[in-house]
Amino acid sequence: MAGLSEELCLATTAVRVEVVQGVARDVTLALPAGLVVDQVNGFDSRRLGGPPAGCCVCAPLDPVPSRTDMSFVVQAEMRVPREGAVVVPLVRMPAAERETGGIAVDVVGAGEIAGREARGLDPTHASELGDIVAGRESPSMLAFRLKPIGGAEPRALGVTVVRYTPQAVLVANVEEARYRALASDDGRLLVHARYAVRNNQRSFLKVSLPSGSTVWSAEVAGRPVRPGVAERDAVLLHARKRACRRRSAALRRRFRCT
């Protein structure tokens, strides 16, 4: 899984190795230029600065005998251009007789993939790649299945990223506010306030009250709620986050007229 942000490519590679002959004491992965391994879950990893350059050696705690599988996850990152041509980093295993699996590429933020150039890969759907991309599908995601070729055979993936400028959107709007007031002879005033709110991000509706007033009751979408207390004689009413639908909040309060 490769996520392309505006500065970095965050790559998560789930590796499963099947030992077909002999005993595996370590696994050598070939890394693209510029890819930095942050963590290897399950193995002790050693990044080599000398020969062989651009490799990561992963050593299991115990040697792995033949006809046995071993699995681990490599987390790495690499600086990439914000937009334009981007080479997607592919972690390879040169000693493998056959590489299988897949890769998914997604753009993080406001952008999309406008073009692609693949070698040794076949287009597929992201749902075919298993748990590594489960729950991470998006309209800009591309998925490829690895052709079953040797680890030393040519394989590459390049994409063209287009970025967009995010526009500010209205996060909440009180479409309608209605008030009914009842005044008594002893100088008290009962006010019923009703608000129609269109909300898609805010968690609370803040209502400022006149000094000395007291909240009697509050309802949101017809259900009684207990308002929170804010600063300067204000209360907080829970606002449901449902865009393009009208929700009403009613508030009854009592205070003395001046």
pLDDT digits (tens, 9 = 90+) for 43-102: 665 554 444 667 888 878 788 888 888 888 999 999 999 999 999 999 999 999 999 999
Q: Among 121, 145, 163, which residue terminates a domain?
A: 163
192 and 158 in a common domain:
no
152 and 230 in a common domain:
no
pLDDT of residue 44: 62
How far apart are alpha carbons 216 and 177 in whole angstroms? Answer: 19
SS3 100: coil
Q: Among 138, 163, 188, which residue terminates a domain?
A: 163
Q: Is residue 244's pLDDT more than 60?
A: no
Among 102, 103, 143, 101, residue whose Cα is nearest residue 126: 143
Q: What is the CA radius of gyration of the chain?
A: 29
Q: Among 116, 146, 163, which residue terminates a domain?
A: 163
pLDDT of residue 246: 42
C-alpha torsion angle, residues 76, 82, 87, 92 (rounded to 10) = 10
195 and 95 in a common domain:
no
Q: Is residue 40's pLDDT more than 70?
A: yes
User: For residue 170, what are the β-bridge partners?
Assistant: none
Q: Residue 186 has which token pair? A: 């002893």
pLDDT of residue 249: 55
pLDDT of residue 105: 94
38 and 142 in a common domain:
yes
Q: Which residue has the tokens 């009703």?
A: 194
Q: Is residue 166's pLDDT more than 90?
A: no
CATH of the domain at 188: 2.60.40.1730
Among 202, 204, 226, residue whose Cα is nearest residue 215: 226
pLDDT of residue 146: 95
155 and 42 in a common domain:
yes
Instruction: List, for residues 78-88, the tens digit of each pLDDT value.
Output: 999 999 999 99
Instruction: List, for residues 144-162, the tens digit of each pLDDT value.
Output: 999 999 999 999 999 999 9
231 and 111 in a common domain:
no
pLDDT of residue 237: 84
23 and 51 in a common domain:
yes
How far apart are alpha carbons 189 and 257 in whole angstroms? Answer: 6
pLDDT-derived band at 27 (thresholds 50, 70, 90) equals: confident
188 and 86 in a common domain:
no
- Vertex 182 angle, CA 181 and 183, to 5°: 120
CATH of the domain at 127: 2.60.40
Where is average pLDDT lowest: 45-54, 59-68, 123-132, 213-222?
45-54
Percent of the chain clearing pLDDT 90 (strictly above): 39
20 and 130 in a common domain:
yes
Where is average pLDDT lowest: 2-6, 40-44, 65-69, 202-206?
40-44
Percent of the chain clearing pLDDT 70 (strictly above): 86
pLDDT-derived band at 103 (thresholds 50, 70, 90) equals: very high
User: Count of alpha carbons within 13 Å of 215, Cβ hemisphere only?
Assistant: 21
Q: Cβ-count burial of 83 within 10 angstroms (0-12 exposed, 13-18 middle, 19+ buried)?
A: middle
Domain extent at residue 216: 172-256
Give the count of beta carbons closer than 10 Å to the beta carbon of residue 102. 19
> What are residue 126's phi and psi, to 5 degrees?
-60, -30
SS3 158: strand
pTM: 0.62
Considering its fold, how many domains does the chain have in total? 2
Task: Return mean pLDDT, the chain.
Answer: 84
SS3 141: coil
Greatest distance between any 2 Cα atoms in the chain: 98
146 and 21 in a common domain:
yes
157 and 178 in a common domain:
no
134 and 31 in a common domain:
yes
How far apart are alpha carbons 220 and 61 in whole angstroms? Answer: 58
> Three-state SS string across 166-223, please?
CCCCCCEEEEEEEEEEEECCCCEEEEEEEEEEEECCCCEEEEECCCCCEEEEEEECCE
